[in-house]
């Protein structure tokens, strides 16, 4: 027995790293995996136990309506009775599961401290290997954009001018209390792509891109419910054709947070009857672009649309409240499903996807129950509800909704567009007062400590962008790993780093292109481990409208442009050091591909 214990405690030193004996390590991992699975299952069962009774909201393709169906009263009684006893059981197990999981977590930290294990993932690789891997892993690459944000389409300041009006027109005309910054800056920020695509295409070609993601502005294409604007359609078709002829593949988003005024005035996506309007719009427009566009995204970030429009009321037309947010999300997902099924019949070669922002809120202290509960509740609205709906066809949020919105077993998407800028870190508790971010700080009398509440970074010495999330490129890797669970091709349809950064201990936000460049250096290494159908950076130009943040608060763009404010024509452009770095990466990917062909 004594010899066995001695043998079990044996360790070996290799490469200046102490490793646990494989038998002991395997045993530890096995126990950890078991307890993590037990704890997760208890949590999942408990959450499911607080779901309302199931309701069906299924799209009827024969008459383009949504059919609603609730459980019978007797079945509701049975459902809630089963959940009641299930919840009692899970609540009794929960303290046991939490205690054991906490002990395992502490053991894990102790083992990692005394027996560190090397990370098999490379933190740095040679440039030659980087370009080789990226050329193999990323099919198409370029920049992502919204033509409302770039060109002001659908507003009085649209470049070029069109008949249609969007729901943001009033806010852009009078941005006070809605959009940060001076209205003169906002109204003069728009460029003209559609009248003369050549200038933009030259910039894209100089950046060595193979694809460009942008939006069709619904408001200018369909200025009223029963009218389509042939001029707007032809300009867009010419734009897409010009991109294709220049060797740039168009990736087109049908709806990017902007609604026609007539649609918004009729309740937007909070009105069930409006779903068919969007479906008919997509059914009409997509076939017209068959020669030029293969890849479509129905919606941009449906979870964020409901969160921003209805809960935060940062987008026009919001009624306010979680219920309105859920209805907005539900109807957008129903509309996506209907479009997917219809378009696959009439344009089978089209690839139809949807984009989703991996906006998960992270507690600054995992042992702080307030931070954990609030972070999880927010993440349910912005992230988990959307991801789980794509997996199961049911939109489920405890206490609030349990909607079956399609019956297909496979996700109704040909690809998932991952959009990731990092996970906001929520802090509610004691701090040093040096934390960066959007925070409320109260000095505790007679101490050197503060009570801190808001979004910040997790580690001392970290950085937070003016966009909100901390500087953490590794969050993209976790997002991509989670996206694999959908078992469909993956594209990064947006990622980027705000160059306006607040560092730990600093009071002000400062321009920091060095940190912005570091973000891309790190994510390109991460992308050597994933196969992607596309990778798009947000975004090309600085001084671009970033929704409620206006044009100057953030600096997501990489290129400075000088333009004629009246016509919107770009006269001159200048690349930042970050743009030059990305230009060189894209250039070398293309170079590797040419060498392989040769």
Q: What is the mean pLDDT of residues 570-583?
A: 97
77-96 average pLDDT score: 82
Model confidence at 24, pLDDT cuts 50, 70, 90, reads very low
Outline where 416-566 has alpha helix (H). Answer: 474-483, 513-526
* C-alpha span between 213 and 369 (Å, rounded): 41
Q: What is the mean pLDDT of residues 441-457?
A: 94
pLDDT digits over 79-88, tens only? 888 888 887 8
d(CA 420, CA 469) in angstroms, rounded, equals 10
Dihedrals phi, psi of 417, to nearest 5 degrees: -95, 110
pTM for this structure?
0.90
pLDDT of 208 above 80: yes
pLDDT digits (tens, 9 = 90+) for 341-354: 999 999 999 999 99
| Lowest-pLDDT range of 30-34, 158-162, 423-427, 553-557 | 30-34
Residue 537 contacts residue 582 (beta carbons within 8 Å): yes
Distance, in Å, from the CA atom of 364 to the CA atom of 425, rounded to the nearest integer, reads 6
Q: Residue 575, exposed/middle/buried by CB under 10 A (0-12, 13-18, 19+)?
A: middle
Residues 102-150 have pLDDT tens digits of: 676 666 667 666 666 555 565 679 999 999 999 999 999 999 999 999 9
Angstrom distances, CA of residue 81 to CA of 64, 75, 76, 84, 86: 36, 10, 8, 5, 9
């Amino acid at each position: 027995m004594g010899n066995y214990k001695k043998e079990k405690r044996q360790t070996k030193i290799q490469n200046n790293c102490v490793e646990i004996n494989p038998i002991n390590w395997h045993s530890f991992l096995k126990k950890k995996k078991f307890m993590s699975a037990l704890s997760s299952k208890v949590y999942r069962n408990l959450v499911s136990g607080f779901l309302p009774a199931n309701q069906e909201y299924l799209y009827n393709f024969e008459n383009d309506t949504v059919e609603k169906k609730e459980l019978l009263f007797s079945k509701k009684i049975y459902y809630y009775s089963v959940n009641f006893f299930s919840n009692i059981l899970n609540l009794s197990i929960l303290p046991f599961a939490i205690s054991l999981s906490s002990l395992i977590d502490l053991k894990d930290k102790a083992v990692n401290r005394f027996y560190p294990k090397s990370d098999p993932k490379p933190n740095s690789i040679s440039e030659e290997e980087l370009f080789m891997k990226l050329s193999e892993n990323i099919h198409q690459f370029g920049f992502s954009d919204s033509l409302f944000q770039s060109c002001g389409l659908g507003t009085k300041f649209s470049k070029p001018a069109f008949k249609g009006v969007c729901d943001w027109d009033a806010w852009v005309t009078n941005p006070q209390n809605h959009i940060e910054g001076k209205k003169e800056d906002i109204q003069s920020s728009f460029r003209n792509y559609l009248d003369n695509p050549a200038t933009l295409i030259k910039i894209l070609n100089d950046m060595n891109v193979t694809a460009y993601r942008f939006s069709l502005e619904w408001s200018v294409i369909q200025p009223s419910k029963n009218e389509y604007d042939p001029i707007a359609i032809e300009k867009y078709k010419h734009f897409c054709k010009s991109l294709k002829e220049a060797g740039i593949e168009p990736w087109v988003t049908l709806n990017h947070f902007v609604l026609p005024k007539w649609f918004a005035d009729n309740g937007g996506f909070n009105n069930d009857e409006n779903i068919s309007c969007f479906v008919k719009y997509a059914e009409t427009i997509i076939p017209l672009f068959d020669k030029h566009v293969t890849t479509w995204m129905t919606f941009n970030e449906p979870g964020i649309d409901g969160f921003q429009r209805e809960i935060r009321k940062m987008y026009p037309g919001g009624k306010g409240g979680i219920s309105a947010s859920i209805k907005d999300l539900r109807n957008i997902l129903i509309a996506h499903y209907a479009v997917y099924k219809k378009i696959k019949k009439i344009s089978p070669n089209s690839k139809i996807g949807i984009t989703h922002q991996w906006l998960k809120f992270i507690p600054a202290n995992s042992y702080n129950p307030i931070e954990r509960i609030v972070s999880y509740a927010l993440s349910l609205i912005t992230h988990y509800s959307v991801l789980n709906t794509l997996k199961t066809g049911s939109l489920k949020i405890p206490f609030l909704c349990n909607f079956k919105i399609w019956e297909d077993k496979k996700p109704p998407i040909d690809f998932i567009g991952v959009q990731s800028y990092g996970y906001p870190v929520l802090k509610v508790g004691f701090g040093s007062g040096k934390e960066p971010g959007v925070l409320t700080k109260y000095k505790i009398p007679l101490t050197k400590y503060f009570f801190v509440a808001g979004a910040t970074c997790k580690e001392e010495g970290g950085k937070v962008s003016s966009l909100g999330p901390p500087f953490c490129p590794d969050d993209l890797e976790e997002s991509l790993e989670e996206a694999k669970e959908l078992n469909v091709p993956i594209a990064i349809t947006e990622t980027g780093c705000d160059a306006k950064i607040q560092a730990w201990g600093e009071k002000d936000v400062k321009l920091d292109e060095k940190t912005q460049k570091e973000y891309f250096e790190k994510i390109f290494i991460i992308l050597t481990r994933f196969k992607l159908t596309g990778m798009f950076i947000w975004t090309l130009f600085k001084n671009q409208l970033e929704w409620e943040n206006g044009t100057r608060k953030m600096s997501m763009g990489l290129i400075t442009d000088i333009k004629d404010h009246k016509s919107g024509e770009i006269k001159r452009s200048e690349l930042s050091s970050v743009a030059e770095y990305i230009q060189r990466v894209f250039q070398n990917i293309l170079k590797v591909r040419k060498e392989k062909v040769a």
